[in-house]
Structure 1
């Protein structure tokens, strides 16, 4: 067991460096606030419209910590997504592709108690924008985002009722650069903003299920995330520059603004859901999430009068179907078939327009290797934003893949 733990810890450290280094977004809306949402749930969650209300013995549910108490085997999981995006505006369109590592986590069962930890991105900044007028050219670009290391505990105080909690350490940095070129002026103006963010946040969850009759089961869930404050350290560099060969920036004159400490507030979230199904056969559920407005106004360089954080609502509908989970002959009868849809307000209003999302998803849970090891594959089409008021609409096709490895680490010795 010790060797397995050392191997997992090594994998976690290596993957952590990959999570921190990657570019998780290419969205123009990632310019605003702390960026776009980077974690949308595990592949199993996302394939069902993002439902976060189910737990089982061999999968991790990173949205509801109460689900850790369902684990029967040690479970290690990691997921990644490849995104193809079409950016459409009133004047034209463009296409791009990028790959992200979404999460890496492990869950450990102890009788009616389960614990887990891992790392995932929380928000992502990655954009390159250009605006031209008759006299000026403005270029904006940025990178970075927030990451989260989490530790979760779930337990079952009495039969079919589960509770759980998660402590998150959020940390990251955001870098933004603005270049302005003016006609008949020799030098360009450059502004660099560097922001370091860190702090704790907390999630709580509950799951309860009961039998409606001999076959049907009702599942209910509740999730809550605190509206925590995170510390922000900001610094700014102002300069006049010349552009040299290969677009190198040659500083002519530079001025550093005194660093400033402030805070941002993450949005408070409350979610509840209910669904009906037959254990290890099928399930259909509906979930509602409400987010209070966050406060990112201290990031003044990208939070002007055109930007507003508002309350947000999310509706999710999804489920799964398994023809026969223990079929001894047919592989495809053991496959888990998933589908879902979501309608989501992002909580962002820009130039008077709500930046909303709509998505539809499908997925497969594929048994692989040993009986309790599986691969999960999903695809989602979703749209974000609008072309109204000179904005951009994004159309995504995201293909996501995860591996879930299961084993029994804690086996009591029968011999001395």
Structure 2
């Protein structure tokens, strides 16, 4: 009963908590902001691999086919702490943010199928960029501040079933929703009033993902897994309003609007192209696993938005390569708790699908890349439950061509709770 009350309370509070998510990255200025690959803490600590991995008690956000292997009712929630250091050629600054990363519930359906659903962020926006303009005598003539906040969350339902002995198939349907606010504040020297251009957008959309996993048992208790997912192309439809108005700025930094110069409704769409993920893994069940994964997606398209300037940036094909795995010394060790701990590690290299012109020339675009290393621990609790800790550090972007380099250190923690028996939450108790 306590578990049921806890999971209901977490789902009720999840929307508010995810809505408060913030990003400190200047790269969240573009498109729908920082986009997050759906993954659990367990997946994240193995470099992000998961499309070819399954387990009877772990949820898998990467491949819906993995639900077919769930044998216990499991719910999980994760928290992310992001420590970010931003560098340019001349300056450096740091920020820290903490947020709920996901909340989800999964359970088996019979012996050959499973279902999971949950809520997690799809993207986050949170930036403040300042550009100073100087006259020929190095006198400041104007200040322009670009700022934004908000993000998009996704609510998903995922189903997997064993179509054959060695093949599982799955489907996931997600509903995306959120709000983003972008604005440009311009203050010129010797001019009493500043001007602000603001765009307030509400975002809605749906998407469908198909998945498959092939599992082959080899000699000496080894297995070979292969997995693939295809997320069909979809639109994130955007509606809202845009305003241009004059204002003064109070001593505390608040806007004091004066006159509305122009206002109108906006309508557009972020067009997300089809995404494919392929992976392969080798291991011994509840002993060790190593795997590799490749993700690919064509360039995102956006129309009718404030931060849509072909001279400043452009979208391009994105891809990710991940390597990782885990080692579990002895799952049923009585003499040593450390032998029952799961040790995970991984690497990732990713092209974000964004190229930025940082030197104001027509052809000098720099692709933004991300390289990270991760490791983590799965700390066992009673009844197959666990606490999962993850640590990730890496670098995104570059200081070349007048751009910004991000050095990040992420700390993740999740709680994965399981029922004492398969489907026990959904069975009525009987008295003999």
Structure-2-length-normalised TM-score: 0.92
Q: Does 1:89 align with 2:102?
A: no
* 1:402, distance to aligned residue in structure 2 (A): 0.2
8 Å CA contact retained: 1:383, 1:395: yes
* 1:378, distance to aligned residue in structure 2 (A): 0.7
- Aligned partner (choices 384, 387, 394) of residue 375 of structure 1: 387
- Aligned partner (choices 364, 371, 375) of residue 362 of structure 1: 375
8 Å CA contact retained: 2:31, 2:307: no
Structure 1: how far apart are the matches of 2:403 and 2:240?
Answer: 28
CA deviations on 1:57-82 (whole Å, 9 max, x unpaired) are: 11101111111111111101000111
Structure 2: how far apart are the matches of 1:340 and 1:303?
Answer: 36
Tell me the residue number matched to 2:426.
410
Structure 2: how far apart are the matches of 1:107 and 1:413?
Answer: 20
Structure 2: how far apart are the matches of 1:247 and 1:214?
Answer: 67
Tell me the residue number matched to 2:124.
124
- Aligned partner (choices 299, 311, 315) of residue 317 of structure 2: 311
For residue 29 of structure 1, give the secondary structure of its aligned residue in structure 2.
Answer: helix
Structure 2: how far apart are the matches of 1:117 and 1:6?
Answer: 17
8 Å CA contact retained: 1:338, 1:364: yes
TM-aligned CA distance change 1:58 to 1:326, over 3 Å: same
Q: CA RMSD in A?
A: 1.6
CA deviations on 1:367-407 (whole Å, 9 max, x unpaired) are: 02x13110000100111111111110000010100000000
* 1:133, distance to aligned residue in structure 2 (A): 1.7
Tell me the residue number matched to 1:16.
15
- Aligned partner (choices 406, 413, 430) of residue 394 of structure 1: 406
TM-aligned CA distance change 1:39 to 1:269, over 3 Å: closer
Pairing 1:244-283 to 2, within 5 Å after superposition: 244-283=250-289
8 Å CA contact retained: 1:372, 1:405: yes
Tell me the residue number matched to 1:102.
101
- Aligned partner (choices 150, 157, 178) of residue 151 of structure 1: 157
* 1:220, distance to aligned residue in structure 2 (A): 0.5
Tell me the residue number matched to 1:233.
239
Structure 1: how far apart are the matches of 2:400 and 2:186?
Answer: 26
Q: Does 1:196 align with 2:202?
A: yes
Structure 1: how far apart are the matches of 2:38 and 2:118?
Answer: 15
Structure 2: how far apart are the matches of 1:104 and 1:253?
Answer: 44
Aligned residues: 413
Pairing 1:204-243 to 2, within 5 Å after superposition: 204-243=210-249
8 Å CA contact retained: 1:176, 1:192: yes
Structure 2: how far apart are the matches of 1:371 and 1:40?
Answer: 26
Pairing 1:56-95 to 2, within 5 Å after superposition: 56-95=55-94
* 1:41, distance to aligned residue in structure 2 (A): 1.1
CA deviations on 1:280-306 (whole Å, 9 max, x unpaired) are: 111111111111111123324344422
* 1:177, distance to aligned residue in structure 2 (A): 1.9
Pairing 1:277-296 to 2, within 5 Å after superposition: 277-296=283-302
Structure-1-length-normalised TM-score: 0.96
Structure 1: how far apart are the matches of 2:31 and 2:147?
Answer: 14
Structure 1: how far apart are the matches of 2:258 and 2:430?
Answer: 76
Structure 2: how far apart are the matches of 1:99 and 1:10?
Answer: 20
For residue 61 of structure 2, give the secondary structure of its aligned residue in structure 1.
Answer: coil
For residue 311 of structure 2, give the secondary structure of its aligned residue in structure 1.
Answer: coil
List alignment gaps of at least 5 residues for structure 1.
none
Structure 2: how far apart are the matches of 1:333 and 1:303?
Answer: 55
Structure 2: how far apart are the matches of 1:377 and 1:266?
Answer: 32
TM-aligned CA distance change 1:300 to 1:129, over 3 Å: closer
